[in-house]
Structure 1
């Protein structure tokens, strides 16, 4: 029985370029990475052997860049098949599942099994990006359960378009696809409380950002993914993802807002893991970065952060640290400065103010802020905001026979609120 020939295209290109062994190519890639300004890339002979196997895995973006630089051919000409394609004789099932698995489960369109011979015009990139941009704006007003399937369906379209695009259009589609997956992941985690689904979706976002070769998008995806282990108290895993996020941010022209947001995310992760002192130090570093300024502009897709939102992070951390007067002052200032349209953030801040008053032994004031949060939730649902209200109710247990707390229970467990929460 004959053995599989393996990836003969890569092997032929390697030999033609003067690298007579797999080890020689591995060494050349490690050296070339430094010349190209790629830090920390080290390629071993085992990796080259896998690439030359009969089922070569899709190389990471940095490896693609070095391979095409050394061998002078496009990555697909070297025998590799993108994860969203299935025209190879034996496609990698793990990578393919990462890209299209949720569409089959959700009953949505999957990526075509055969690569289309047609080529999309340059306008396809702008058209696809325009819908992504609209979804970004709709996130702040449309119910998560309504928007989420539309965003996933749009991402499925992006997966189908990618094989039919090239050059600048391909990068435009890939970047918009990464943003769509990022938005879907944010909805799943923050609005719907589905961390497992969010984890898979954010991995797809990272793959798409790699295809776009957009390090800032990659950094944003990695930072969002750090929330998931942090919410479970897994500090080491969250810290590793934040390290990766900062590494990617150094590769792009990161604005001060972007860098300050990374500090805020890391502070939130530390707070969730009980390290409020470290978190407050990180918040201060974020404030210093914002004050320093920069010539780089913030990406248009980063519409979830601003100086006032950094203050909201700070107020929550002060609350968790037990610095109640400072937390109250910070959060009241945030409420005054939040812009119109920041309804989801407003719900969270009201919840934090209620928690401040509960911790200070002021049940009536705590209930008043909790009522305001619930009023906001009836207009704009946000699972994170509802979590804050529930945490406040648990903190009010010592006063559960007080009239104000009973009124809160009537509101919290009314027919509409209870059914709405269970549906979501």
Structure 2
């Protein structure tokens, strides 16, 4: 009997996961499309979709055309072309995707900063010639160009470690340029080299986005870098990194006053956690979901996510597998910080104070950025006591003066109106104004 098995369809699986869809939801969407087109279907189930992804079956043509519609992607992007159909096309399509990502990073930010301004600030004038030549390479030159995965990864790791000791702006400029370089290095690479470069590129783009969003308050630039990171995780097939990118992307609507819009990104990240993701990464994702629910007014759900995060942290402690090296932005102190914020938003100031004091005790010497956020939240837990609130906000400002952190400064400004106008308020306003003018 002939063997009809096919290679696993990683592209189809990845696109499903990115949307947070289950096998059953994909099947339901295909059925709806077929019904809309007055086509009958039989034998389509969630298990059928699963078998398409594992390679046990190949989608019939009647299903392939509807997969293209429901995902809004080309057949090649969904792994639906046969080897013969793909011959001569993958390299060209990969180059087109990389050029799209470059153009994405160079696009108008839409937040009041011009494209030229972003490029000057993020890259430096000396890097611009490299970008211009990169976008005009011929496909023949692209195919002959190869990068050095080990060298690129070493710089990525150095940038990640510098995050805890280097000023945000110069590191952002270096990381942004390194991400651009990664897009160039991956072109023409193949096999294991390509996968290795994609992993490092995803890490670099994620770091750049974190710096842009949390440290420097540039959400539009951050979203473009997140897009690069997410595409690179697909190229690398790294589910843990995909969770990290999607989880960070959820902060954009959460901090933007639209926490309900974070759900799709959190759902997509949650789908990836079923693929061998470390328990500590799952715990961090629950913490983000907790903050989204807290800001959306869903206090019960928010506290439930904290309970799930706590259980996952306990599981991680018993897990013999090391956390990913890049996963250095979450620990027990951060968990307590998220828990304190969830309690604060739900109105339980006593529990919030307890959790936030615990967070301060647990935060390590490299956590000065997070410390400013925790101190601001602790100030909010003393609502009604101007003296204690002012004391905590001054400590938070001390932390900001020691190491700038945009997210911490924003949190301080959010809490400041809780203190009545007077000598205490004026003193805080002067310090805030001084930092605003820097």
Q: Do the structures match in fold with TM over 0.5?
A: yes
The answer to whether 1:400 aligns with 2:406 is no
Count residues in correspondence.
367
CA distance in 1, matches of 2:158, 2:324: 15
| Unaligned runs of at least 5 residues, structure 2 | 1-38, 109-114, 121-127
* Preserved contact between residue 195 and residue 236 of structure 2 (Cα < 8 Å): yes
* Preserved contact between residue 380 and residue 415 of structure 2 (Cα < 8 Å): yes
The SS at the match of 2:347 is coil
Change (3 A) 1:185 1:37: farther
CA distance in 2, matches of 1:152, 1:297: 28
What aligned pairs does 1:167-206 form with structure 2 within 5 A after superposition?
A: 167-206=191-230
The SS at the match of 1:44 is helix
Change (3 A) 1:188 1:95: closer
Give deviations 1:77-131, integer Å, cap 9, x for gaps.
Answer: 3456345x25xxxx9986663365479761543334324354537xx10110010
CA distance in 2, matches of 1:230, 1:76: 44
> Which of 321, 325, 329 pairs up with 1:300?
325
CA distance in 1, matches of 2:100, 2:66: 19
What aligned pairs does 1:115-130 form with structure 2 within 5 A after superposition?
A: 115=139, 116=141, 117-120=143-146, 124-130=148-154
Shift of 1:72: 4.3
Find the counterpart in structure 2 of residue 314 from structure 1: 339
Shift of 1:165: 1.8
What aligned pairs does 1:147-226 form with structure 2 within 5 A after superposition?
A: 147-226=171-250
Find the counterpart in structure 2 of residue 17 from structure 1: none
Give deviations 1:24-51, integer Å, cap 9, x for gaps.
Answer: xxx9x9575243489x9x963156699x
Find the counterpart in structure 2 of residue 327 from structure 1: 352
* Preserved contact between residue 312 and residue 349 of structure 1 (Cα < 8 Å): yes
Shift of 1:338: 0.9
Find the counterpart in structure 2 of residue 344 from structure 1: 369
Shift of 1:274: 2.3
The answer to whether 1:418 aligns with 2:424 is no
What aligned pairs does 1:96-107 form with structure 2 within 5 A after superposition?
A: 97-98=103-104, 101=107, 106=119
| Unaligned runs of at least 5 residues, structure 1 | 1-22, 51-55
The answer to whether 1:44 aligns with 2:57 is no
What aligned pairs does 1:128-143 form with structure 2 within 5 A after superposition?
A: 128-143=152-167
CA distance in 2, matches of 1:76, 1:135: 38
Shift of 1:223: 1.2
> Which of 253, 258, 263 pairs up with 2:286?
263
Change (3 A) 1:34 1:312: same
CA distance in 2, matches of 1:258, 1:411: 37
The answer to whether 1:272 aligns with 2:326 is no
Find the counterpart in structure 2 of residue 81 from structure 1: 92
* Preserved contact between residue 355 and residue 366 of structure 1 (Cα < 8 Å): yes
Shift of 1:135: 0.8
CA RMSD across the alignment: 3.2
* Preserved contact between residue 58 and residue 80 of structure 1 (Cα < 8 Å): no
Find the counterpart in structure 2 of residue 378 from structure 1: 401
TM-score by length of 1: 0.78
CA distance in 1, matches of 2:252, 2:274: 23
Shift of 1:236: 4.1
TM-score by length of 2: 0.76
Find the counterpart in structure 2 of residue 53 from structure 1: none
The answer to whether 1:365 aligns with 2:383 is no
What aligned pairs does 1:231-246 form with structure 2 within 5 A after superposition?
A: 231-246=255-270
Shift of 1:292: 2.9
Which protein has greater RCO, CA pairs closer than 8 Å, 6+ apart?
2
* Preserved contact between residue 206 and residue 225 of structure 2 (Cα < 8 Å): yes
Change (3 A) 1:235 1:335: closer
